[in-house]
Chains A and B, each alone.
Chain A
Amino acid sequence: MATRPDPMRLGLAALSRLASSSAVDRLGLRSTAERLVYHGARSGFRVAAVAGRTFAAVRGTGAPRRPVKAADTGVFDLTPTEDQQMIVAVVREFAAEVLRPGARAAEEQNDTPKEVLGQTADFGLSLLSVPEELGGLSPERSAVTGVLLAEALAEGDMGQAVACLAPAAVATALSLWGTDAQQRTYLPAFTGGDVPAAALAVAEPHVLFDPFELRTTARRTSEGYRLSGVKSAVVRGTEAELFVVAAALEDGTSALFLLEPGTLGISLEPDPAMGLRAAGLCRLLLDDVEVAADAVLGGAEDYRECIRLSRLAWSALALGTARAVLDYVSGYVRTRTAFGEPIAHRQAVAFMVADIAIELEGMRLTTLKAASRVDQGMDASREIALARRLTGDHGMKIGTDGVQLLGGHGFVKEHPVERWYRDLRAVGLMEGAVLV
């Protein structure tokens, strides 16, 4: 029988590795590093102890509630509904007034402030995909609304947007694929005033990762399943009170599992990346974690849908950050002068800005088309794949051109374009974490 790794020991090991690194001092990173280690050590203690919240199992009494599909209007239309316009207006304001100004501080903390997360809970971010009968806000499921929201949040800051959307991803997964008992057990927490941190963990830290060829396994036992493996890009993993984890079954298919952090065999370690630092990315280590048979969330086809909807959410996030780049560089090139006139007067500069706008518009329409197909209950696999490709490729191009247009000024943290560059690298490769 495998021994359970001691989370506190892991935290101390990390501390010792960092303390011995001369690079830390040479680069003047001591305080940042200490904060990082504190974060890790704290999480170690945290997970070693019992999780903050326990979800009392509730028995199901019937069929699970499902969000309903929108009707096909048959009319080509690019106008959001009034509800969508209203929600987006609120979220855009929040993104502009809270997320954008707080972006740099949040990434230095490697976390999103509790107050910010609280505010998103206040305007019901995690309620939007939860059916009304379960205390949610949405009479109709809408991936389009999800896309517009993620876009609006990421225009403020992608890292914090991901942190804010992570619990909503878990709530959406429960709404879409949960059994009646799972919904009754877990969803009330997400519709209450104190929304728990929760994470949808799909990605794994190895090259050519394919979510349909997972290395994390779930083996059948007499009681349920035994999970083993390593998950990466787990949003605010050390804070999470509920995980939804993807694992491969013995028959070659994959499925999602509900996992509470107090379960034996679970440990976490911070896994900061080049960007999305405010999302507090972690690795989730599963070492023979025993779960009951009813921990399975949905089936193989639901898992496939989960992967698609998650990619759609990442595409939506790219739209917002790319918009931020476009607006920022548009202002910059008109005011920055060289050779006696604004650099915007040069075609080499102006055409780069034009191309940012053209590609952004194209990837936005493609993402919206994919989402509207989801809403209408149509097959959206092709459109989601295309939106992911576009937002991955052109999103990164926009990120790098954003820095290029500011020249050396773009490379320093005085301007946000270098952060957007780091954040946009995530889009084409991320799996899980967010859902629309």
Chain B
Amino acid sequence: MINLETPRKFRGLVQQVHDVAEAFLRANSRKYDRAEHSYPHELDLLASLVDGMNDSGQSQGAGASGVRRDPAEEDSSVVHNGSNMSSVLSIIEMCWGDVGLLLSMPRQGLGNSAIASVADEEQLKRYERVWAAMAITEAAVGSDSASITTTAVKDGDHYVLNGEKIFVTSGDRADSVVVWATLDGSLGRAAIKSFLVSKDTPGIRVERLEHKLGIRASDTAVIVLDNCRVHESNLLGSPEIDTKGFAGAMATFDNTRPLVAGMAVGCARAALELTRELLEDAGVVMDYDRPLVAQSHAAASFIQMEADWEAALLLTLQASWLADNRRPNSMEASMAKAKAGRVGNAVTLRCVELAGTLGYGETELLEKWSRDSKILDIFEGTQQIQQLIVARRLLDLSSSQLR
């Protein structure tokens, strides 16, 4: 039966996470926006709490590991609301608190999602307590991740990694990094593998930290791999040179894109809520029943933003629902990311405009949210990459036909 309400079994979780986000994230939002690169100690306590919930099985997939598609027995006749959806619901609440701080949550890195998506059972156990950042992008390689130049050369039972990675979220604070490297630069995507590299391995170092437009609470590092030797058991997935491995790694995105879409949805909701409050305090009346042409411009703009926000939210939930029900969601994940990314950015910027210099100044968080939201339309695949993915699926075109 068609029903798009928050599942009953997650309503408690959502409220809990919301309270946490308010106390730990929102409360420290401006502090770490100003103190870029300083470590948010408040999150250590919170991370222990999340670990505890995970261990007791209460988390319902509140963290980065929630994206794993459990191959356990499934009954396709029953509709599931599972860990993909609870993860996305949690992330929405957390990012209503603060996107940068959510990204700084210990042991909840994108690398952890990659491990959850592609690691085998043994690796999963071995990496249970790691905090893993994700290192894909290079100075000359952004969206085109099949062209990476970082190399992995087999030497006995080790691989030797060489290269430089940029835009590594939590690259400084995490204890490990999932590094994408090629086994043979001439073989394209088939030769690309991901390796879990512990930061205490000789040959890996943090070169510098970036100064950014937004999400300043989150550290973004340049990482250099200089003859960094990792044991072959650290290669995630299969060591064979075949496109399946790359496809598997890319499939991580099917699981993580709805999460990033959720970040945009959460951030935009924060802006909408505050803007509504400010507008209503100023005497603006919003009426869902009256035609927008008969309402004030501010009220009409607000309802319009809310409409696009709602579409972004539901596309995001749809993508996670499909994943929970073991159905392909690659196109829907990209749809969610595309819509949420652009709506999150447009909404937060418009809210600043509606609030005037009050919105533009640092006394309110509106200006901060409008800076934070920009990255959400870029990382985990830019707006344009999402459109490319959707268009190829929709029009049944290969990457050589629709470039």
Q: Which residues of A contact B (CB under 8 A)?
A: 70, 72-81, 84, 144, 208-213, 304, 307-308, 330, 333-334, 342, 344-345, 347, 350-351, 353-355, 357-359, 361-363, 365-366, 368-369, 371-373, 376, 378, 381-387, 389-390, 393
Q: Which residues of B contact A209 (CB under 8 A)?
A: 291, 294
Q: Write the residues of chain B forming the contact surface with A, with a CB cutoff of 8 angstroms.
A: 1-9, 79, 81, 85, 288-294, 303-304, 306-308, 310-312, 314-315, 317-318, 321, 332, 335, 338-339, 384, 387-388, 390-392, 394-397, 401-403
Q: Is the CB of A365 within 8 A of B315?
A: yes
Provided the pairs A76-B5, A362-B311, A365-B311 are in contact, do residues A351 and B387 lie with their beta carbons within 8 angstroms? yes
Report A-chain residues with C-beta under 8 Å of the C-beta of B7: 74-76
Which of B9, B288, B312, B384 interacts with A382 by CB under 8 Å? B288
Shortest CB-to-CB span from B271 to chain A, Å, is: 17
Knowing A307-B289, A393-B304, say if A79 contacts B394 (CB, 8 Å): no
Inter-subunit contact A79/B307 (CB<8 Å)? no
Q: Which residues of B contact A345 (CB under 8 A)?
A: 397, 401-403
Q: How far is the CB of A404 from chain B (nearest CB, A)?
A: 16
Give the CA-CA distance A76 to B5 in the complex, in Å: 6
Question: Of A210, A342, A350, which one neighbours B291 at CB under 8 angstroms?
Answer: A210
List of A residues within 8 angstroms of B2 by Cβ:
77-81, 84, 144, 368, 371-372
Given contacts A77-B2, A350-B392, 7 further A-B contacts (CB under 8 A): A77-B321, A80-B1, A334-B397, A347-B402, A362-B312, A385-B289, A389-B303
> Can you name 16 A-B pairs with beta carbons within 8 Å?
A72-B8, A75-B7, A76-B5, A76-B317, A78-B4, A79-B79, A211-B291, A330-B394, A353-B394, A354-B394, A357-B394, A358-B387, A362-B312, A372-B3, A385-B307, A389-B307
Question: Across the interface, do A365 and B388 meet the contact criterion of CB distance under 8 Å?
Answer: no
Question: Which 4 A-B residue pairs are closest in the complex by CB-CB distance?
Answer: A362-B311, A74-B8, A365-B314, A385-B288
Q: A308-B289, A361-B332, A386-B306 are in contact. Are A75 and B79 (CB under 8 A)?
A: yes
A285 to chain B, nearest CB (A): 23
CB pair A78 B321 closer than 8 Å: yes
How close is B81's CB to chain A, nearest CB, in angstroms?
Answer: 5
**Residue pair B315, A362 in contact (C-beta under 8 Å):** yes
How many whole Å from B141's CB to the nearest CB in chain A? 20
With A307-B289, A361-B332: A79-B1 Cβ-Cβ less than 8 Å: yes
What is the bound-complex CA distance between A208 and B81, given in angstroms? Answer: 44
- Chain A contact residues, majority secondary structure: helix
A353 to B392 Cα, complex, angstroms: 10
Contact of A210 among B9, B290, B335, B390 (CB under 8 A): B290
Chain A residues with CB under 8 A of B394: 330, 353-354, 357
Complex CA gap A212/B315 in Å reads 33
Q: Is the CB of B9 within 8 A of A74?
A: yes
Partner of B1 from A81, A333, A385 at Cβ < 8 Å: A81
Measured CB to CB, the closest approach of chain B to A252, in angstroms, equals 14
